[in-house]
Homo-oligomer: A and B are copies of this chain.
Amino acid sequence: MRQRFANGGRHLRGGMKACNTLTQMSTVQVTCDWGGEQMLTPRQKLILAAIVEDYVRYAEPVGSRTLSKHRGFQISPATIRNEMADLEELGYLDQPHTSAGRVPSQKGYRFYVDHLATSADIDPETVMSLRALFQEQMVEIERVIQQTSTVLSQLTQYTTVVLGPKIHQEKIKHIQLIPLSGGTAVAILVTDTGHVENRQVHLTEDISSDAVVRMVNLLNSKLKGTPLANLRSHLYREIANEMANTLEYFEDAIAVLDELTTVTDQNPGKVYVGGATNILVQPEFRDVEKVKPLLEWLEQADWNTAEHAFPLHGGKLQVRIGHENDVEPLQDCSVVSASYSVAGVPVGNIGVIGPTRMNYGRVMQILDYVANALSKVITERVTGGGG
């Protein structure tokens, strides 16, 4: 077996090759470094890229003759075969069986994503949809995100998971307590961004409405401006004592606060899943046994599981290919994810889940745009640029 160019050099970090009409492509953040990665000749890169792109498109192993014809390469199939053999030897390609064409390995995809992915211009329709999405005036942040998830899954034809903005950093704007009948009451918490949370609590049966008003006033005066993340510490250290002296219904106030602190504990933010059924069209998921774990994971995904799958991070794009995913049901998939930020602080995450045979270039490009636009829109909304 010939083994040209297997010289074990370190790879060069390169960004996306081309940029397109949408936005400047950010440098890809590599999540995983392959120790002992080899340099590839320009021709090998060309062939690897061609194989990845062909396979992404047609979902069939790519043969040497197809490749030489299809791409108008000026090399004969035999030469391509030689190169393919080398690439396989180096671990970038797999062969399902002797008489089949080649298929990119995970390592192959990784190399492609890190060094080869180009962004062919996205079709104008997609550009339009994206522009439209963010120009629309939507008042609620929740709705913006919901829509983002939907549009993104439609555009990519993959599945989208959006972690709605984390509310830890948001500050308490207002607390309200509305007594219902029979000793229950609704406790409502509004944050400075307009996020509303509510919990029901039990109160002393015959509490007077005056007492409730006093309680609410005290809570508001003490807690207004407190970031949700600090609620618990604030509460017991500073407020509890003082309340014990002032309030007749100290127990009730504590009950209310206890409920409100569950906001950040149990429910750091919402999770939006879009286009879960899109994976069903992918040939690699035609088999029910293959999709099931994935769909089950999606069905049960809450913030914590989802954030475990693609953590919030400062950088821009993350790509996890197959077994690079920690979460088992995602190990047959690739996940491209990006965080979006409010004033530079990452508060949420968008993940696109597809087969490893994914159109990385396109998804990365779209996602990059979406993450930027979303950050901008939400930051504007939150930092006061209101109407």
Which A residues form the contact surface with B (CB < 8 A)?
A: 139-140, 173-174, 176, 178, 180-184, 186, 188, 190, 192-194, 196, 198-202, 205, 275-277, 280-281, 285-288, 291-292, 295-296, 299, 384-387
Contact = CB atoms under 8 A, between A and B. Distances in A.
A188 B178 CA distance: 11
User: How many copies are assembled?
Assistant: 2
Contacts of A202: 139, 386-387
B277 A387 contact: no
A183 B386 contact: yes
A280 B295 CA distance: 10
A7 to B, nearest CB: 45
12 contacts: A139-B200, A140-B200, A173-B178, A173-B180, A180-B193, A182-B385, A186-B190, A186-B194, A196-B196, A276-B295, A277-B296, A287-B288
Given A139-B202, A202-B139, A194 B182 contact: no
Contacts of A292: 277, 280-281
Given A277-B296, A281-B292, 20 more contacts: A139-B184, A140-B199, A140-B200, A173-B180, A178-B190, A180-B192, A180-B193, A181-B192, A181-B384, A181-B386, A182-B384, A186-B194, A188-B188, A188-B196, A196-B198, A276-B299, A280-B288, A280-B291, A280-B295, A287-B288
A173 B287 CA distance: 52
Judged by DSSP, the binding face of A is mixed
A146 to B, nearest CB: 12
A121 B197 CA distance: 43
A305 to B, nearest CB: 15
Contacts of A201: 139
Contact of A190 (B182, B183, B188, B192): B188
Contact of A176 (B139, B188, B276): B188
A216 to B, nearest CB: 11
Contact of A205 (B194, B286, B387): B387
Contacts of A173: 178, 180
- Best-surrounded residue of A194, A201, A287 (most CB of chain B within 10 A): A194
Contacts of A205: 387
A261 to B, nearest CB: 15
5 closest A-B pairs by beta carbon, nearest first, are A182-B386, A196-B198, A181-B384, A139-B200, A184-B386
Contacts of A198: 196
Nearest to A142: B200
Given A173-B178, A178-B174, A386-B181, A196 B192 contact: no
Contacts of A291: 280, 288
Contacts of A188: 176, 188, 190, 196
Nearest to A290: B288
Contacts of A140: 199-200
Contact of A182 (B178, B275, B281, B387): B387
B386 A180 contact: yes
Contacts of A194: 180, 184, 186, 200
A277 B297 CA distance: 10
